Structure formats: C-alpha cells, structure tokens
A and B are shown apart, each in its own frame.
Chain A
Amino acid sequence: MPEAKSGSKLLFEGPEWSFALLEKARDAIEEIALNDLGLNLYQNQIEIISSEQMLDAYSCVGLPLMYQHWSFGKHFARDEALYRSGRQGLAYEIVINSNPCISYNMEENTMAMQVLVMAHAAFGHNHFFKNNYLFLQWTDADGIQDYLAFAKNYIAACEERYGIDAVEEILDAGHALQTQGVFRYGRPPKPTSQELAAMQRVRDGYAGSRSLLDIWTDATLGHDSAETPKDAPLAARRKSMNLPQENILYFLEKHSPVLEPWQRELLRIVRMLAQYFYPQKQTKVMNEGCATFVHYHIINELFSQGRLSEAAYLEMMHSHTNVVLQPDFDDPRYSGINPYALGFAMMMDIRRICEEPTEEDRDWFPDIAGHDDWRHVLRHAWANYRDESFIQQFLSPHLMRKFKLFTLVDDASQKDLVVSQIHNRAGYKAIRQDLAQQYNLAYLEPDIQVTDADLSGDRCLILTHTVRDGIHLDEANKEEVLKHLRRLWGYEVTLDAVETVVES
C-alpha cells in the first residue's frame, strides 16, 4: 500500500455522495486520466439511476432505449427473481459505447464506489471504446442512441400497424440468427444505386413501399434487368447474391422472396445491433482489463496524492479484489476464466515487463521489455488488438506460471481427458495458442454460410456448416432455428454439415 502523503485535501469523507462531490471527484480523476495515463476520451454523461432502473436496463442488454420484446421480459423475470432472493447482486454500473459516453451508476453506491465506478467505466471503458480499432471500424458511437430511438419507434409503429404477433414472429426469428447476423471479416457489400433508392422508399413510409412487395420485380433483389436469372448458371447466381454469405440475416434481408419491406427493416435492426455488440464480444478480456487497470491506477494515484481517506481506499480495494478473483478450476466457484482477472493481470504484467523485465521477458518480448513508457505500450495494445490477438501477443510465461495454466484435451475418441500442456518451458507456446483460441469468436461460434439459393428453381436455401474438430451443432436448437429460417425464407431450408480435414 503506498504511503499517503499529507498536504492536499481529501476529495470526500464518509460514505454519502452528492452531485457536488461527484463533480469534484470526476475532475480529479480526469486530471490523472488525461495528464498521467494520456487517455483519449469521449465526453462523459454519467447518469444516476435506482436499483429498479438498473434491473430494467439489465434485462435489455444494457440499453435502456432498447425496443420491446418478450425475451427481455423473460430475462427481467429471471434477474428479478435472482436479485430479490439475494442470489445475484446488481452491477455497480452499466456503460454504453456511445458519444457522449453514457454510463449509469447506481444510487446505492457509496461515494467511494461512485469514484471507483467512474474511474472504471467513464474513463477506462470510455477510452477503450474510443480507441480500439474494432469499435472504430464496426460501431457508430455518434449514431447509436439515435439508431436505438429509431428502432424502438419503428418497431412500436410496426406493432401498432401489423399487430404484436406479426412483429414478434420476425423478431424471434431474427434473434435466433443474431450470431449469424454479423460480418466477421469484410465490410458489407456496397448497396447498388437501385438498392439505395429502394431503401430510401422503404424509409419514406409504408405506403410508398407497397409497390416493392412483389419480389420478382423488386430492385432490392439486386438483379440487373439485363440479367436473366432463369438461365444464369450457379456462378452468376452466386455472384449476384454475394454467395457464399456468412451474414445470414443480411442475406435474408436482401434476398428473401417472401418478406415485406417492413419485415426486412426489422431484420436490419436486429442485424445492426448484433454488429454493434460484436466488438464487445471480442474484447471482453481487454475491455475489462483496460477499465480495471485504469481504475486501479487512478485510485492508487489519488490515494498517494492524499485525496482519498484510508477507509475509502480500503473499500475500493476490497471491491477491486473481489472483481479480479480467479478461482482455481477445481474450486466450486469456478465458472471459466474471469475476464477481469486475466485482463487486469495482463495489463499489470505488461507494465512490469516494461519497468522490470527479466531475462525471460527480454527473450519473449524484445519489443517492449524495458520500454521506457509503459503507458504508451498499453495504449497501443488497447487500440490495436482484440482478445485473441492480445493473448497471442502478450501472455507471458510469468503470468502462465502465476495462473498455473494447463491445457486439458477432451477428445471423443479417447476414454479420458488428457493433460496435454502445463505451465513449463515446453508448454508456454501451446498454452498461449490454446487460450487465444478460446477467445476466438470465429472459432467458438459455428461457421455457417449461405451457399446457394436457386430462386428460379425450387427456391431451396442451402446453408453449409463447416465442422471444425468434429464439433457439431446442438441438435434441438438447430431444428428450432431452422424453423425460424424457413419462416423468413418462405421455402425449404437445408443445413449441410461439412467436415474439414483435421490438420495434424
């Protein structure tokens, strides 16, 4: 624990917070965030909410402006039951990747917690959102609030016009395909001018869109009038529909023969939100690691400046310690690797490698070992990596020993589980590779693509699941999702599994 210096005054005393104290604390945090850590931040908008409102926000994937759907009500019923029976606490905050960066703090937090939470969310996450390449490339922080408002109103209007059931049918199907509703590798194909015109008409109003109903004359299909899809060979078909297509929702939105314009717009909304959340799914470890490192650094800095009382400092440390707890694999509390624990440990480790590198570190990280500015190294990492590549690049042998990581192989052809690697010289590289793979969404989520759809023939939609390592889809769920797919496509849908050759 750093020694507290006397001199400058405490930011606050006692557990009660007030808006004046929050302002004062925020200024002190910002001072450190900007001038010490050199963070690059969106403007902050910090909202104080009650626990009831937190429960509300919880059930709507953290977005209070989310449209209405029964599944959020179901999550609310479950969260509420867990919360009321005391089996689950509530988050101290929720932060939204938007500009200005909106974070929600609970009113029940003590002043010390408000400071911790502010440093964590309004500065740590905020910096990450604004600087990480995934968020910059794939999300529109300026527009998300407006888009959510549009989506909510649009869906409410559709419910009024077409009935809750009709809207629910499309949203249910869209939600089922959410993980298949993102572009993983490339940007979406640019819409043609005809498509742009059609989209414009759709947005202009329902009435104008009626003429788009007939898919066979619909420009959104993307056929040039010169093309004759009837005789076009498979290659031409695939070209015109951008096949194979990994983004199934995008494909259905553009090419389904049965959907009406408003239904396409609903799919588009679901798809846009899935894409908006995709970077967050890929950066759990880094995002939490960054935010936890930032709050840890800031409160220690505040304490050493003598601006926090020991009581407040201890309360923050207590909470911090809980958050970064990593139970062992055989601990009853174990439920996977804690992204806060791993992320925070890696950030601290990078700083250690910069400041006090060992011989081993110099071998493994020649670029950063002994680097004179750890802040720069961290900011660079936060901006340019996602979990998979970050672990691949920065997980050090030191940390693997500290976490005592080992790899367990579960091969269906073997009777037992086998320990294939442990934290020793022979195992470091392989463990790092395996752990990185564990955060590779493209590997974790099934690889399913639209491979063919013969609109002029039997109109059967053909999907292909590329099976890796012999891991197949969950059967019961697969059948249910296929039912949804058939509803959206209007005709038969088949899903073929293709095994890939196992590399040895």
Chain B
Amino acid sequence: MHHFIDRRANPKGKSHGNRQRFLRRARENIKDRVDRSVRDKSIQDGEAVPVDGEQVTIPARGLQEPRFFHGSKGGNRRHVLPGNKEFVVGDTLPKPKGGAGQNGREASEDGEGEDEFSFTLTQDEYLEILFDGLELPDLVEKSSVETETIGTRRAGLTTVGTPNNLNLVRTMRNALGRRIALHRPSRRAEEELQSEIEMLEALPNRSDAQEELLAEMCARLERLQRKRKMVGYIDPIDLRFDTHVPEKVRKSRAVVFCLMDVSGSMQDREKDLGKRFFLLLHLFLARCYEQTELVFIRHTHHAQEVDEETFFYARETGGTIVSTALDKMREIITDRYPPQEWNIYGAQVSDGENFGNDSVRCKKLLLEDLLPVCQYYAYIEVVEEDAEDLLQDLSVGDDLWQNYRAVKDQTEHFAMQRVAHAAHIYPIFREFFLPRLKGGQNA
C-alpha cells in the first residue's frame, strides 16, 4: 500500500519557466544595468563576461509583492520572549532605534522593503538580454560551419569516484563529524597516557598500587589505540567525489577580422568608437560560436597584422591606402583560415579618407575576393560630431563611401553605417543584426 518513488531522474529546472517570467518582469531594470556594464567594459577583458555569470543588482522597484500587513510603528504591542535573565515586572528597556518591537520581526515581511535585489545572471542570460532579439543573418545561418564533440559538465557529489575528483572539503567535513560522533581519541590523549606510563615504568621500585595503576593504564592505552585504529581518521564512508556528466557540444568556429585605419587623421575618439564596435561584434559572435578568434589589421599606406594593444594604442603616421588592409585580410584567410572550417567576419572602421582611386580597387577586392568567403562584413565610418549632413544623408560621401555603397547594392551580407558618438554604436550594432522584418538591415 505504500510507495517509494525515485524522482531523481525527472528533469531538473522545473522552475525554469518561473525564472524566465522573473527575468522578463525585471527586464527593463536588468537591461538598464546590462547596457551600463557593457559601456564600461573593454575588449581586453577577453571574454568580457565572466563564464560563471554576472552578478547584477537591480532596483527592487516593480519586483515587490505588496500585501496588507501591519506597520512596524505605533500602537500598543505585547511580545512574549524567551530567556528572561534578570528582569522583574516593571523593568524598563530603552526602545531600539527605528521603533518596532524588541526583535523587529514585523519590520519587513519576506525581506521586502529592501530597495535592491541582487542575483546572478548566467552568462547566457546576460548576453541574451544584451543582444535581445538580434540574430545572425539568415544567409549566415545557412552556411555556418560546425562540428560536434562531447564535453563534460559538473554534476554534484557522489560517494564513488576516482581520486582526482575527490572533494576534499566535503570529505574532511564528514570525517570530522564522524570522529567527533564516535569519540575517536586524539593523538594528544594517547601521548599523554603514554608519557604517564613511561613515568611509572621509570620508577625504580613500584608499590602494589602503582603496579595496578600501571597495568590498568596499559590496558587503557591498548583500548585507546585499538579504538584509534578502528575509528579511522578518514574512512571510506567519508569520501565524496565531484562528478561530471558528458554533454554534447556543438562546436563551431569564427574568426573576426578587425580592420582599422590608423593614419594621422584617426584620433583617440575615432579609435575608441571603433573599439566599441569591435567589442560588441566579438561578444555577439562569441555567443553564436563555440570558439572565436580575433585578427587585428591596421593600416596606413601599408597594412600590418598586430596585437590588440598595438592595434588600439600605438601611433603610426603615413598616408591612407585602404586596399592594403583588404589585401592583408585576403592573405591571412588563405594562410590560416580556410573558409570551409571557419566562419569569417569582417569589421572595418575608417574615417572615410582614401588615397586617389584606391577605393575602386577596394570595391573590386571586396566583391571578388572577400565577400564570397565572408559570412558578414560591416563597415563603420567615423565622422565629426558636428557633421549633421553626413549623418542625415547617407547618399553623400567621399570616394570610399560611394564605392562601398555600390558594394552594398550588390550584396546582402554587407552593412555600412556612419557614427559620431559612442551612443550611436549600440543602436547601429543592433540595427545590423536585427532581422529585416523588424526594420534592420539584416536579410
């Protein structure tokens, strides 16, 4: 008539739906914090978002569950408390500050009334909110390159396992508890008894009483030693091991080429805007792909592959020939990133200046060599903050801009925009990756 039911194999995360609803509810608040935190982040942080999630603290506004309940101030209240020490009837105590009773139990119900609520967003949730609604262009999805492998994931504790997975803290805690519970004699007790016996044995001639005591102590020592042997310091039942379960992981790789003009006309402001764009692109792609790599190419009248530090902070002088960077990119792809194994993304930042009729060559390079192997290519032109006309009208522009416009007309996975302020970057980025249905440039 009775049942035991093993539910352990049931799916976990039953409250996933509740969590989703909670995040949805707090979305505005959370998004605000997430946007603010991404503004302060640097691309150098590498992953930029910690793998074990991001602690966010949001205002509890909108998350309260109000109830009718008695306030904590005023009125005539009686509290029955345990543990009277010296009070007699009529004794008085000063009221604790902030009113309320002795224990302030009524002060807040359920921890409500706090202004802030802290919890941990997983990395996925963090990026999900950051890149809310953005997707890879359809075209890209289709031709994505991927492989599948088996990885592992931590899954709690077990009593059996291999020594390398031994969880020391839990094991020692169990051992300590067991030793206390079973009264395992300490080494010191043993040594004290031992030394007392030795003292007695050292006596030249012992009385009968001493003889008896010695025998009794020897027996006690033997018992004690036996008990120490029986109740081990660590017993197999104390052992706890970390376990891992296998998990199938999709593996896909992407490489992001960051191209930037570093000639004299590109100042810190322009570079900073570029950096923000590269950071967002990297974060977004890192979320879509298992593994992402970054390649930094800077150019003046010649192009170089450099590390991140040099890319953003080193100074360089010279003219401006954009096509050198595109040449370099083509060269690196051929050398290291075969398109059948890598998803290739290009992002280019420039102030729009180019030498002579090099722009025509750029157009040709893009159309014939780069765009056929790239998943997506984005071009950002940094303009002066007061260049209202350029920001307003996208049909005006220099030689490079005009040629790129021609490229854009011919291909779908090419995007271009102008920015002047840091505040433009995120909206533009969103626009690039918003599905076309919702008004984005995305196909």
Chain A positions near chain B (C-beta within 8 angstroms): 14-16, 19, 22-23, 26, 30, 43-53, 55-56, 59-60, 64, 68-74, 76-78, 80-81, 100, 104, 107-108, 164, 168, 172, 175-180, 311, 314-315, 318, 326-331, 334-337, 403-413, 415-423, 426-427, 431, 434-435, 437-438, 444-446, 448, 465, 469-478, 480-481, 484, 502
Roughly how many angstroms separate A23 CA and B3 CA in the complex, as a whole number? 9
Give the nearest-CB partner of A58 in chain B. Answer: B15
> B120 within 8 Å of A by Cβ?
yes
**Number of chain B residues whose Cβ lies closer than 8 Å to a Cβ of chain A:** 72
CB distance from A126 to the nearest CB of B (A): 11
Does A470 lie within 8 Å of B74, measured CB to CB? yes
Cβ contacts B3-33/A at 8 Å (1 or 0 each): 1111110101111011111111100000000
Q: List chain B residues, Cβ under 8 A from A502.
A: 76
Give the nearest-CB partner of B183 in chain A. Answer: A314
Residue among A47, A415, A444 facing the most chain B CB atoms (10 A cut-off)? A47
Give the nearest-CB partner of A52 in chain B. Answer: B12
Q: What are 15 A-B pairs with beta-carbon distances under 8 A?
A: A16-B237, A19-B6, A22-B4, A47-B4, A48-B7, A59-B15, A70-B18, A70-B25, A327-B83, A409-B77, A410-B101, A418-B93, A419-B89, A470-B76, A477-B68
Roughly how many angstroms separate A72 CA and B8 CA in the complex, as a whole number? 21
Roughly how many angstroms separate A127 CA and B16 CA in the complex, as a whole number? 34
A314, A444, A472: the one within 8 Å of B74 (CB): A472
Does A329 lie within 8 Å of B102, measured CB to CB? yes
> B88 within 8 Å of A by Cβ?
yes
Roughly how many angstroms separate A478 CA and B69 CA in the complex, as a whole number? 8
Does B22 lie within 8 Å of A70, measured CB to CB? yes
Q: List chain B residues, Cβ under 8 A from A404.
A: 82-85
Does B69 lie within 8 Å of A474, measured CB to CB? yes
A45, A52, A407, A426: the one within 8 Å of B78 (CB): A407
Q: List chain A residues, Cβ under 8 A from B156.
A: 50-51
Does A416 lie within 8 Å of B15, measured CB to CB? no
Does A471 lie within 8 Å of B71, measured CB to CB? yes
Q: List chain A residues, Cβ under 8 A from B120.
A: 77, 81
Roughly how many angstroms separate A173 CA and B182 CA in the complex, as a whole number? 55
Roughly how many angstroms separate A26 CA and B120 CA in the complex, as a whole number? 41
Does A474 lie within 8 Å of B71, measured CB to CB? yes
Does B4 lie within 8 Å of A46, measured CB to CB? yes
Does A43 lie within 8 Å of B1, measured CB to CB? yes
Roughly how many angstroms separate A407 CA and B77 CA in the complex, as a whole number? 10
Chain B positions near chain A (C-beta within 8 angstroms): 1-8, 10, 12-15, 17-25, 63-85, 87-95, 100-103, 105, 111-113, 117-120, 156-157, 159, 181-182, 237
Give the nearest-CB partner of A49 in chain B. Answer: B7
Q: List chain A residues, Cβ under 8 A from B69.
A: 179, 445-446, 473-474, 477
- A53 with B10, Cβ < 8 A, contacts A78-B119, A179-B67, A408-B102 known: yes
B73, B80, B85: the one within 8 Å of A405 (CB): B80
Roughly how many angstroms separate A52 CA and B16 CA in the complex, as a whole number? 12
Does A68 lie within 8 Å of B18, measured CB to CB? yes
B24, B81, B87, B102: the one within 8 Å of A164 (CB): B24
- Chief secondary structure at chain A's binding surface: mixed
Does B81 lie within 8 Å of A484, measured CB to CB? no
Q: List chain A residues, Cβ under 8 A from B81.
A: 329, 337, 405-408
CB distance from B88 to the nearest CB of A (A): 6
Does B17 lie within 8 Å of A329, measured CB to CB? no
Does A74 lie within 8 Å of B24, measured CB to CB? no
Does B87 lie within 8 Å of A406, measured CB to CB? yes
Does A472 lie within 8 Å of B75, measured CB to CB? yes
- A435 with B80, Cβ < 8 A, contacts A419-B93, A473-B69 known: yes
Does B8 lie within 8 Å of A179, measured CB to CB? no
CB distance from B111 to the nearest CB of A (A): 8
Does B65 lie within 8 Å of A71, measured CB to CB? yes
- A16 with B14, Cβ < 8 A, contacts A408-B101, A420-B89 known: no
Give the nearest-CB partner of B107 in chain A. Answer: A474
Does B119 lie within 8 Å of A417, measured CB to CB? no
Roughly how many angstroms separate A179 CA and B102 CA in the complex, as a whole number? 25
Closest 3 CB pairs of A and B: A328-B83, A73-B22, A480-B66
Roughly how many angstroms separate A168 CA and B19 CA in the complex, as a whole number? 14
Number of A-B contacts (CB under 8 A): 275
Does A471 lie within 8 Å of B79, measured CB to CB? no
CB distance from B62 to the nearest CB of A (A): 10
Does A438 lie within 8 Å of B68, measured CB to CB? no
Give the nearest-CB partner of B112 in chain A. Answer: A477
Q: List chain B residues, Cβ under 8 A from A431.
A: 80
Roughly how many angstroms separate A476 CA and B64 CA in the complex, as a whole number? 11
Does B68 lie within 8 Å of A180, measured CB to CB? yes
Q: List chain A residues, Cβ under 8 A from B112.
A: 477
A60, A409, A478: the one within 8 Å of B18 (CB): A60
B68, B71, B93, B159: the one within 8 Å of A481 (CB): B68
Q: List chain A residues, Cβ under 8 A from B17.
A: 68, 73
Roughly how many angstroms separate A453 CA and B185 CA in the complex, as a whole number? 76
- A419 with B88, Cβ < 8 A, contacts A49-B8, A51-B156 known: yes
Roughly how many angstroms separate A177 CA and B67 CA in the complex, as a whole number? 7
Roughly how many angstroms separate A81 CA and B13 CA in the complex, as a whole number? 15
Residue among A15, A328, A406 facing the most chain B CB atoms (10 A cut-off)? A406
Give the nearest-CB partner of B18 in chain A. Answer: A73
Does B15 lie within 8 Å of A76, measured CB to CB? yes
Give the nearest-CB partner of B80 in chain A. Answer: A435
Does A81 lie within 8 Å of B118, measured CB to CB? yes
CB distance from A89 to the nearest CB of B (A): 13
Does A412 lie within 8 Å of B14, measured CB to CB? no
- A336 with B89, Cβ < 8 A, contacts A404-B83, A435-B80, A469-B77 known: no
Does A337 lie within 8 Å of B82, measured CB to CB? yes
Does A472 lie within 8 Å of B78, measured CB to CB? no
- A314 with B84, Cβ < 8 A, contacts A59-B15, A472-B71 known: no
CB distance from B143 to the nearest CB of A (A): 35
Does A416 lie within 8 Å of B93, measured CB to CB? yes
Does B89 lie within 8 Å of A427, measured CB to CB? yes
Roughly how many angstroms separate A64 CA and B15 CA in the complex, as a whole number? 9
Does A474 lie within 8 Å of B70, measured CB to CB? yes
Residue among A46, A326, A329, A336 facing the most chain B CB atoms (10 A cut-off)? A329
Does A74 lie within 8 Å of B68, measured CB to CB? no
- A422 with B70, Cβ < 8 A, contacts A56-B15, A69-B21, A329-B82 known: no
- A407 with B4, Cβ < 8 A, contacts A176-B66, A417-B94, A477-B67 known: no
- A419 with B90, Cβ < 8 A, contacts A45-B3, A164-B24, A406-B84 known: yes
Does B83 lie within 8 Å of A59, measured CB to CB? no
- A107 with B8, Cβ < 8 A, contacts A73-B23, A419-B89, A445-B69 known: yes
CB distance from A292 to the nearest CB of B (A): 17
Roughly how many angstroms separate A258 CA and B66 CA in the complex, as a whole number? 22
